[in-house]
Amino acid sequence: MKLESGESTQATSPHTEQGSRGWVLGVLAFASILILWEVLARCSGWSSHIFPDPITVVLSLIDLIQNGTLLRHTVASLFRVTAGFYLAVLLGVPIGIMLGRSWSMRSFMNPVIQFLRPISPLAWIPLAMLWFGIGDLPAVFLIFLASFFPLVVSTTIAVHNINPIFFQVAANFKFSRKERLTQLILPAVIPEVVTALRLTVTIAWLVVVAAEMIAVQSGLGYLILDSRNALRMDYVMDGMIVIGLIGLLLDHIMKCLGKIESASWGVKAR
C-alpha cells in the first residue's frame, strides 16, 4: 500500500510542479508589465492626463469602486453578456444537433450560416439600433449573433463526427429519440461543445464592450468612451483593467467546466 501511494505521488507531482511554476511565471509577467508601465510613465514625458502611472490608476479605481460607478457599469455589461450568451446556447446547440443529424437540413441551412457567420457582429450595430433603439436589447442582440454561429457550427461538426456504429448499436437496442439524445449524442459532443463555449464567451465579452461604446449608455464600454470624452485616461485604463480581469475570470470558469469528467472523457481517452 505504501508503494502504491508513493507511485501515485510520483505520478502526479510533475503536474503539480508545472501548475505552481505556471502560476509564478504568470505573476512575474504581470509584475514585469507594471514595472515597464511605471518606467514609461515616468520617462515618456507625457502628462499624467495622457498616460497616467499605475498609482494614479489604482487610486482612481478605488474611487470608482467607492462611489459605485464601477459596480453599476460592470453589472450592466455582465447582464448583457449573460442574456445574449445564454440565448445563443439555448438556440445554437439544439440547432447544431439537428443539423448534425439531418443531411437535408444541413444542406439547406449551411450555405446561409456560412454566409452570415463571417459578418462581424459590429456591422449589425446600425440595424440593431434601428430595430431595438438604445438600451440593452441591441447589445444583447449583437452578443447573441457573436455567440450563435460558432456554437451552431461547432455542435454540427461534433454531431456529424459521431461514429455511425454507435447509432447502429442504439437502433439494435431500440433506443427512443430521447435516449439517443441523452445517452449517445450529448455525451459524445459535450467535450467539443465545452471548448466552443470557452471560445465563444470570450468573443461575447469582446463584442459587448464594443457595442456599449455605441448602442447603450451604461456598461464598461460606455465607461471607457465617456471617460475618454472627459479626458480621464485613468478611468479609461480602469475600465480596461476590469475588462481584462473579468475576461480572465470567465475563461477560468469555462476552463473549470471543461475539467468535469463528462466534459473531458474524450480527451482522457486519447
Beta carbons of 196 and 123 less than 8 angstroms apart: no
Give me the mean pLDDT over the 184-198 stretch. 86
Beta carbons of 164 and 184 less than 8 angstroms apart: no
What pLDDT, on the 0 to 100 scale, is given for residue 15?
A: 55
What pLDDT, on the 0 to 100 scale, is given for residue 50?
A: 79
Please report which confidence band the pLDDT of residue 268 belongs to, taking 50, 70 and 90 as the band edges.
very low
Beta carbons of 129 and 216 less than 8 angstroms apart: no
CA distance 201 to 243: 13
Q: What is the DSSP letter of 51?
A: S
Rounded to the nearest 5 percent, the helix, strand and coil shares of the chain are 85, 0, 15
What pLDDT, on the 0 to 100 scale, is given for residue 3?
A: 44
Average the pLDDT over each of 6-10, 99-103, 132-136, 144-148 and give the range with the smallest value: 6-10
Tens digits of residue pLDDT in 77-134: 999 999 999 999 999 999 999 999 888 988 899 899 999 999 988 889 889 888 988 8
The full DSSP string for 176-233 is: -HHHHIIIIIHHHHHHHHHHHHHHHHHHHHHHHHHHHTTS-SSSHHHHHHHHHHTT-H
CA distance 116 to 145: 9
CA distance 130 to 133: 6
What architecture does CATH give domain 49-269? Orthogonal Bundle (1.10)
Q: What is the pTM of this model?
A: 0.79
